[in-house]
Each structure stands twice: as structure tokens, then as C-alpha cells.
Amino acid sequence: MATLPTLIAQSDLEERFTALTVQRYADDATGAGIAANVATALGEASDVLRSILGPAYSEEQVVALVADDRAVRGAACDIAMALLGRRRAEFRNADGSTPYAMERRDAERTLERIAKRERRPGGEASAGANQTAIGVDTNRPATALIFQGSRDN
């Protein structure tokens, strides 16, 4: 299976979290190197993003969403930082959770809402531009509203 390119870059992480924070989370003293650790996290975060948005969007649409929608790009960065945080055992919280775990959870929920059309992506130019959704019922019958009469009518 071919490896797809990453959807975000280290510069996106550094813009969102600062270069020093990214360096601290990526440097795990294993000798693998900061750049290699960041590349691994970016690749895995991109795969997570594709797995969530993939059923609703084509690869080209996912790439466009990451480029055009700050919320999608930010969600990918949150996921990548959570993945980097797993590398550092000393950063774990008392309950065993990792830094940015809550942000990752929120990011994945945001992406799921975009995939289910509960949240319209900010980069979408017009409503209905994505025609790949399955099971979306847009032609619902109008509900008849019956109001109780009053003495003033």
C-alpha cells in the first residue's frame, strides 16, 4: 500500500503551538531525531484525518479542506501534538492521559461532525458543493404546522 503525503507540515504545528513546544514534545531522547519523530506524527495525524473524512470526501477534497479550512488544519495539528505527547512518558498526567489528549478528542469530534454534515466546513465555497454524502436526506417533506386559534384572531 502506497504511503500518502502528509496533509500538514511541521510549520503548521509550530504556528499553532510554537517551535519550542514542538521540539520539546518531539525530542524523546531515543536518538530517532526530532525531525523523524515529527514526520511520524504528521503522517499518522494525516492518516487519522483521512480515515474520518474519507467516507464523505474524496482525497482531493480532503487536501482542499486542509488547505482552505483553518478548523480542519487545526484539528490535524491537535491530533499530531497528541501523538507526539504519547512519546514522552514524563508528560503523562496522573490518570495516565497524555497532553493534548482532550484537544485530540475535540478535534476528532469536529472532523466527524464535518464528515456527517453537522458542521459545514469553513472552506466550502457554497452549500451543497459536496455531493458524495451517503444517506443525507435533503428532500424531507415539509412539516405541517397547526396552530391553536385564539379569541384575538
Share of the chain above pLDDT 70, in %: 75
Chain centre distance of CA 21: 20
Arithmetic mean of pLDDT over the chain: 82
pTM here?
A: 0.74
| DSSP symbol at 15 | H
**pLDDT tens digits, residue range 37-86?**
999 999 999 999 999 999 999 999 999 999 999 999 999 999 999 999 88
Q: Over the range 126-146, which residues count as b (16 or more CB within 10 Å of their CB) and which as e?
A: eeeebeeeeeeeeeeeeeeee
pLDDT digits (tens, 9 = 90+) for 125-145: 554 544 544 455 555 555 566
The pLDDT, as a whole number, for residue 129 is 47
Within 13 Å and on the Cβ side, how many CA atoms surround 4? 17
